[in-house]
Amino acid sequence: MKGALSLSVASGTAQARSQAWLPALGFLALVVLVASGALPWLTTWPGEWVLPFRDWLTDAFAWFSQWAKPLTRAISAILFVPLHLVEVLLFRGVPDWNLAPLPWVFVVMGVMVFAHWQSGLRLALFCGACMLYLVVFDLWSDAMQTVSLVLVTVPLAAGIGLVLGIWSTRNRRVERSLNTLFDVMQATPHMAYLGPVVVLFGFGQVPAMLATLIFAMPPMARCTILGIRSVSPEVVEAGTMAGCTAQQRLWKVELPAAQQTLLLGLNQVVMQTLAMAVIASLVGASGLGQKLLFSLQQLRIGKAMEQGIAITLMALVLDRLTVAQMLRAAANTIVSGSFWQRHAHSLAFALAGICLITLGTMAPAWSILPSEMTISFGGQIDSAVRWISKNLYGYLKPFRDNVTIYLLLPIRDFYLWLPWVIVIAAPTAIGWHLGRWRLALVPVVLFGFLLLAGFWTPLMLTIYLVTSCALLCCLMGIPLGVWAAKSPAAARALMPLCDLLQTFPSFIYLIPVIMLFQTSDLSNVLAMLCYATVPAIRYTYLGLMRVPQTTQEAAIASGATPAQRLFKVELPIAFPEILVGVNQTIMMALAMVAITALIGSRDLGQEIYKALPNGDTGRGLLAGLGIAFIGIVADRLINAWAASRKRLLGMA
């Protein structure tokens, strides 16, 4: 009773404190609005006060690209060798020597054998079916170009991330610096990496690979840090007592003990690499991503659907294989028996490979499936789209127009009307309340920089789209998470669906919204909504499932109804976890900003997209940093709020 009373008093005190700054902020807003008549710069930053950061960055990169040209050419030449070798094996062949690439049937069989070795027949059949889709729908050559980029980029990104992660665990100062850098890198959208890479390395497969590597590397470094830090001190001490040197302890004790976390990092590298497949095509990467981008730009929805499914199936195969390897490592599976039993899969692969390659040289259809033997449903999809446009347009257009005119546009106009002083002051006041001056300075510095750089209007348009999406995600995702936590049947349906939605590359969500609503603000919000709702569902579910059983039993013993137990006990305890889900929802919505620029927008994502053809590196970088800054401000404030709630509940 005493503990409950103290908690109640603490909650009341915290609530009183949390409301103390609201009148001050309201008074500031009133002063700004009154004073703006005499001082218009309080509401709209004068154009002559904008500093030319954009031009400075563009000139700096142009100068550096000329100075570093020998180095960049050497890097390109080195990276071209393994990439070209893999491309020769998978889809190019060597025409001068009359050598064909590896037959499709050999590659499919190899994937199936590897999947069977990892997890058994079910995974082998699933992977085989996914690979056969690429063959039957005449997407094999394009898919192998994308796979070539993945096969070369993933080991490089994983290796660099591993080295940086190990270095961070040996030096706290390096870890702090890299964590800050990784925060910015992961909050910056995919497309923002392309501008600097194009200036330094030009267009083509190698620049696309470098942009993909930069984007995919941070998860591996973070997982390496987490894995090594999570190794039990007793295990490390045992290695020291056994006489291991620091290097031996790292390679023979710490890294093997962190194997599962490292494999999780590898899985994330693979998924991030595939996520760049379409974006990298903007700088010359050929393959499925390029085909999908062309189909989207030409509104060939049927072909885009086929190509989008192909990329999704590739992502599913790579995801399942890496997850199977994680489970295999966790089980510590050891095959015993004779040499033939221990190497059955390798021997079967070698024998079948010899037979299939020989068969491919004798029967061309086993090497490259002729076009007349492939199928396509693109025409049927295009016919369906035309039917929808003809028959449902009368219903969809009023819905789109009404939502846009009466909901989205008023929100947009409100954000554009807000004086910049109030926009910066609001998160600053929240930061001061949650973390005093250190947290309060974050929005001042980051948003103030964008104000000085002349990116205020695109910034506000981005915040408008992201907040609209985040609000809808919470309104949908949190109730669904509660439903899953209260109903095992709902959880069995929703959790696999969440896994599937997170496996889809983000640009896949553009296809249905274009098909139904064409290009509009509503299309942008709906595409972001489809991609970003999953964390709100998942973290609400996890938060409620982690409420201690003893707490629930105490509420039941006190006579609380199920509704009272949910709203007065379970949701308050799960609230910090729900905030983490809201944070992730905002991050994923921000990641979609650059993607939705492909179907038309006027936000920071569109600034990045417009900067690419002109080589305007400063414009693209500053716009990308603007998106990252929104994410950093939201992340810092939400994490501080979650931490304060945990302290209030005695959970931290």
Domains identified in the chain and CATH numbers: 31-54+386-648 (1.10.3720.10), 139-333 (1.10.3720.10)
**For residue 18, is pLDDT > 60?**
no
pLDDT in tens, 287-298: 888 888 788 777
Q: What is the mean pLDDT of residues 323-330?
A: 72
> Are the C-beta atoms of 223 and 264 separated by less than 8 Å?
yes
DSSP string, 600-650: --SSHHHHHHHHHHHT-HHHHHHHHHHHHHHHHHHHHHHHHHHHHHHHHTT
Which pair of tokens denotes residue 357?
């390659």
Close Cβ partners of 423 (under 8 Å, ≥ 6 residues apart)? 447, 460
**For residue 16, is pLDDT > 50?**
no
H helices of 190-300, in order, are 194-201, 205-230, 233-241, 246-249, 255-257, 259-275, 277-280, 288-297
pLDDT in tens, 331-373: 555 555 665 656 666 777 777 767 766 666 666 666 676 677 7
pLDDT for the residue numbered 117:
83
pLDDT for the residue numbered 3:
38
H helices of 298-392, in order, are 301-331, 339-342, 344-362, 378-391
Which pair of tokens denotes residue 261?
């976390």
Which pair of tokens denotes residue 561?
């109804």
pLDDT for the residue numbered 330:
60
Kindly tell me the number of DSSP H helices and DSSP E strands found in the chain.
31, 0
**For residue 123, is pLDDT > 60?**
yes
Mean pLDDT lowest for which of 221-230, 326-335, 522-531? 326-335
* Closest among 479, 595, 466, 460 to 525, alpha carbons compared: 466
pLDDT in tens, 131-188: 999 888 888 888 888 888 888 888 999 899 999 988 888 888 888 888 888 877 777 7
pLDDT for the residue numbered 7:
40
> Are the C-beta atoms of 391 and 137 separated by less than 8 Å?
no
pLDDT for the residue numbered 333:
55
Q: What is the mean pLDDT of residues 437-458?
A: 90
What are the φ and ψ backbone dihedral angles of 374, each rounded to 5 degrees?
A: -95, 165
From residue 580, give the alpha-carbon distance in Å to each of 224, 464, 526, 585, 618: 22, 21, 22, 9, 33
pTM over 0.85: no
* Closest among 272, 282, 290 to 146, alpha carbons compared: 290
* Closest among 283, 259, 286, 168 to 218, alpha carbons compared: 168
Q: Report the mean per-residue pLDDT for the chain.
A: 80
